[in-house]
Structure 1
Amino acid sequence: MKLVKPKKNLGQHFLTDLGIARRIADTVDAYPDIPVLEIGPGMGVLTQYLVTKNRDVKAVEIDSESVAFLYENYPKLCDNIIGDDFLRMDLNEIFAGKQFVLTGNYPYDISSQIFFKMLDYKELIPCCTGMIQREVALRIASAPGCKAYGILSVLIQAWYDVEYLFTVDENVFNPPPKVKSAVIRMTRNSVTELGCDEKLFKRLVKTVFNQRRKMLRGSIKQMFSKDHMPSPDFFTMDIMTKRPEQLSVKQFVELTNVVEKVLQ
């Protein structure tokens, strides 16, 4: 059996600890009755446990060498191995518009992009689990007031409840990454509408966190043109003395509505 050589340009770090692979696979059991889509299966260390769960499993893999390996070693899964770039796919086509759990040992360099795409398809993905860089996991799970709290924290927590499940050391990968990893689970909360313009909400969050050291009264000015600047009273509101990491999702929603009135 010829093994797949990890490719640096794809950010491949193959998990070698089967016990951890089984634990990651078991995180999808939070939603046991819907299909599973695995991103970046590599040589199938996680896949081998997912396919035992008596549910539809599909795997998306961009590396042609890994796809060939999976075809050879998981013949029963052949029709469900998708050789494609997850970030370019229409997720409505994966399970004919049905909901699914998203999971995987995500490439570190595109994990944030994967989760932004998850948000675009949040009605299709009630649960997302998997392993990512520990720093990113802490960021996603972080509460307001913490140093790690940022764009990903707010945008994901607006729609998902986040659980930081466990940390994974570097020495269980080939090749070992230079950082620790972590396994998380994100489960859709009860929010169906934010109560504000979602595009403006996203723009606001990104704008103020891009200058996170500034108080809001300084960073939020970028939301407005010189010809459409708010009145001085706008910048004297109590919230304007806060920095973005101090605001909850609810406060960001409220601030979005205030900004929208000015922009109208």
Structure 2
Amino acid sequence: MYTLKKSLGQHFLKDENICKKIVSSLQTHPFNQLLEVGPGGGALTKYLIEIPHITFKAVELDDEKVEFLHKTYPVLKDKIIHKSFLDVDKPFEGKFTIVGNFPYNISTQILFKVLEWKEDVEIVVGMFQKEVAQRVAAPSGNKVYGVLSVLVQAFYKVEYLFDVHQNCFNPPPKVMSGVIRLVPRTNVPEMKSERAFFNLVKTAFNQRRKTLRNAVKGLFTPEVLKDEIFNKRAEQLTIEDFAKLTFLMNY
């Protein structure tokens, strides 16, 4: 078989019902190209390779798992990208969908990589540590609403699908997990530039306990900072609020 590596954040799904629920959540939106991130022992993979009329690829860093997957599922020959997902170039031309029981130690970075590819990533169905999944899905005003919530929700509608108990994994993680689905927004808010938007959001939440006026004062003129919106704290602003403010920034 194979060994599990803590250093790679490996917690492999063993609950067949959860695997089927994830695959079912994926198939609510049609797709032609599918990338699985971190197939590990193939719990999801064995269902994904059965989906008809799609082009399938998987990204796996661990040598042992790559060897295991090739032996167990010969159909995966030439379909496994043997790298860290964070080092992978865009795997397909055109639109594609991403699915995975994402390695928890890089799950936030995975989402930032998805944002880099957002023009082509149609759907994402992913398992995260529950706390991360809740953060991605959190609305404004929520105590866990932050940089990740705003940046992802500016471009994707986030649906929190279901919880996954520790006992569904081998070995069981110390925390609950959650599965979310990202679907591209049809109405991305207008912003001066993505660079300005990302900069504003990160700066605002960097000192989230302060009022916006104090947290982002370096980005606006004193005149602009007189506006009442700057009396609020970052978590009180909607995505649309942040987008509008980009047009008033110094640069």
User: TM-score band, normalised by the shorter chain?
Assistant: over 0.9
Q: Which runs of 5+ in 1 are unaligned?
A: 225-229
Equivalent residue number for residue 234 of structure 2: 244
Structure 2 equivalent of residue 227 of structure 1: none
Q: How much has 1:43 moved relative to structure 2?
A: 0.6
Structure 2 equivalent of residue 17 of structure 1: 15
Work out the CA distance in 1 between the residues paired with 2:69 and 2:149.
34
**Counterpart residue identity of residue 151, structure 1:** V
CA shift digits 1:210-233 (9 cap, x unpaired): 111110011002437xxxxx23x3
Specify the SS of the correspondent of 1:30.
coil
The question of whether the paired residues in 2 share the 8 Å contact of 1:38 and 1:102 is answered with: yes
Which of 15, 29, 32 matches 1:31?
Answer: 29
Partner of 2:246: 256
Choose which of 194, 199, 203 in structure 1 pairs with 2:195. 199
| SS class of match (2:179) | strand
CA shift, 1:34, in A, is 1.6
- On the 8 A contact 2:31/2:97 being kept in 1, the answer is no
Structure 2: distance between partners of 1:126 and 1:82: 20
Structure 2: stretches of 5+ with no match in the other structure: none
Q: Are 2:141 and 1:145 equivalent residues in the alignment? A: yes
1:79-122 deviation per Cα after TM superposition (whole angstroms, max 9, x unaligned)? 2111111111111xx22x12111010001111111110111110
Partner in structure 1 of residue 38 of structure 2? 40
TM-score after normalising by structure 1:
0.91
The answer for the alignment partner of 2:87 in structure 1 is 88
CA contact (8 A) 2:189 2:240 kept: no
Contact 1:129 1:183 in 2 (8 A): yes
Query: 2:125–2:180: 8 Å Cα contact kept in structure 1?
Result: yes
Secondary structure at the aligned position of 2:160 is classed as: strand
Check the 8 A contact 2:23/2:44 in 1, yes or no. yes
CA distance in 1, matches of 2:135, 2:190: 21
Contact 1:31 1:101 in 2 (8 A): no
Q: Which amino acid aligns with 1:19?
A: N
Identity %: 47
C-alpha deviation, 1:194, in angstroms:
3.1
Letter in 2 for 1:108: Y
Contact 2:150 2:201 (8 Å CA) reproduced: yes
Distance in 1 between residues matched to 2:131 and 2:218, nearest whole Å: 28
More helix by share: 1
**Which residue of structure 2 lines up, in the alignment, with residue 125 of structure 1?**
121
Number of residues of Structure 1 aligned to a counterpart in Structure 2? 250
Check the 8 A contact 2:15/2:168 in 1, yes or no.
yes
SS in 2 for 1:126: strand
Q: Assess, with a 3 A threshold, how the Cα gap between structure 1 residues 194 and 126 changes in structure 2: closer, same or farther.
A: farther
* AA partner of residue 239 (structure 2): V
Contact 1:158-1:194 within 8 A present in 2 as well? no
2:29 maps to amino acid: Y
Tell me the distance in 1 between the aligned counterparts of 2:152 and 2:18. 25
Question: Corresponding residue for 1:79?
Answer: 78
Distance of 1:52 and 1:72 partners within structure 2: 17
Partner of 1:5 in structure 2?
3
Contact (CA 8 Å) 1:13, 1:177: kept in 2 or not? yes
Corresponding residue for residue 70 of structure 1: 69
* Conservation of the 8 A alpha-carbon contact between 1:134 and 1:179: yes
